[in-house]
Structure 1
Amino acid sequence: MNKVKIEKKPAFRLIGFRTVLQGGTSIHAPQYSNQKTTFFKSQIENGRLAGIRPLAEGPYGYAAVALEDGSVRYYAGVSSTKPLPAGADELHFPEGEYVVLSGQGGLSRLAFDRLEDQALGSLFTDAFEYEYNGGPIAEVLLNGNPMDAEVEVWVPVRKK
């Protein structure tokens, strides 16, 4: 099992770009993995992520998955309070408690999937004192190296 802790996080805003994930209605599903990878790569290749990198207010790269208007949406971007650039989207994370799962080694996309599988597949049991609250889930690349990644997944929770 990877490192798991509960942390209070301040509110923050992700600015970047989003897509709708197909084939599921829950926040996490195996069929999202390839869609997330394809979308993230496309945002790197078309230069959009590099274009917003100067707006980042910290060294981390972010992605997020959120349930919005009956759809599951995936975001790629940076944390920033600066004005939203033309063509970009934003996602607000409220202040609150988050289950933070940490991992390292291997491809970031696979590491994020493993941590989300752990959180939403085996961590939130009847015996665990917290439950997922339905908010957006953050995927955070800590070391800037998606090929040999140090990552965290932040899942918003509430006490049962």
Structure 2
Amino acid sequence: MNNYKIEKKQSFRIISFKTLLDEGTSIHTPQYSIKKTTFFKSVLDNGQMASLRPYSEGPYGYAAVAIEDGHVYYYAGVQSSKLLPEHTDEVLFPAGEYLILSGSGGLSRLAFDKLENQAFGSLLTEEYDYEFEYSGGPIAEVLLNGNPMDAEVEVWVPVQKRKAT
């Protein structure tokens, strides 16, 4: 089964709350999983995610991983072009091509981790004969069905044509 495709996306933005992922400097590492889960659960439990709902311009929940000033951050929020609420951050996703990986069933964190591992562990490696490579931008984790216990998810990885070596 082919669970991935390349799709052109317009630029978009998520408004969010963020936390530092201090376990590494790479955009993707399995050590981030527990901290991502803990952080996302905390913004749900303390009502921060609910405070962003009025700003949301779509039905999906978003998270992102981005490198900022040499540090890796994890964001939890909603897609929005509205004014940035106080005490929140934003992640800007440029227009361009994205590797879209899809999965469903089970816990959302496990599904996201599986898809990100597929992207960075096989598809976007030098060993795999794939025409695209990671472009360096933020990665989006999208909860499509609103149910983190039996999730339908996508991971959007910005890509560019692989450079000839």
SS in 1 for 2:28: coil
SS in 2 for 1:17: strand
Q: Tell whether 2:134 aligns with 1:132.
A: yes
Q: Is the 8 A contact 1:2 1:101 kept in 2?
A: no
Q: TM-score, normalised by structure 2?
A: 0.95
Matches within 5 A, 1:44-63: 44-63=44-63
Residue type at the aligned position of 2:29: A
Residue type at the aligned position of 1:111: A
Instruction: For 1:29 and 1:128, locate their aligned partners in 2 and report how far apart those are by CA, in whole Å.
Output: 21
SS in 1 for 2:52: helix
Structure 1 residues 37 and 9, CA gap change in structure 2 (3 angstroms) = same
- 1:150 corresponds, among 152, 155, 163, to 152
Instruction: For 1:80 and 1:5, locate their aligned partners in 2 and report how far apart those are by CA, in whole Å.
Output: 25
Residue type at the aligned position of 2:66: A
Residue type at the aligned position of 1:87: H
Instruction: For 1:76 and 1:19, locate their aligned partners in 2 and report how far apart those are by CA, in whole Å.
Output: 9
SS in 2 for 1:119: helix
Quick one: percent identity of the two aligned structures?
Answer: 70
Matches within 5 A, 1:13-52: 13-52=13-52
Q: Tell whether 2:110 aligns with 1:110.
A: yes
Give ranges in structure 2 of 5+ residues lacking alignment. Answer: none
Instruction: For 1:98 and 1:42, locate their aligned partners in 2 and report how far apart those are by CA, in whole Å.
Output: 29
Aligned to 1:86: 86
- Give the root-mean-square deviation of aligned CA atoms: 0.9
Instruction: For 2:53 and 2:2, locate their aligned partners in 1 and report how far apart those are by CA, in whole Å.
Output: 29
Q: Is the 8 A contact 1:15 1:89 kept in 2?
A: yes
Instruction: For 1:31 and 1:124, locate their aligned partners in 2 and report how far apart those are by CA, in whole Å.
Output: 19
SS in 1 for 2:146: coil
Instruction: For 1:125 and 1:56, locate their aligned partners in 2 and report how far apart those are by CA, in whole Å.
Output: 35
Q: Is the 8 A contact 1:111 1:151 kept in 2?
A: yes
Structure 1 residues 2 and 139, CA gap change in structure 2 (3 angstroms) = farther
How big is the shift at 1:22?
1.5
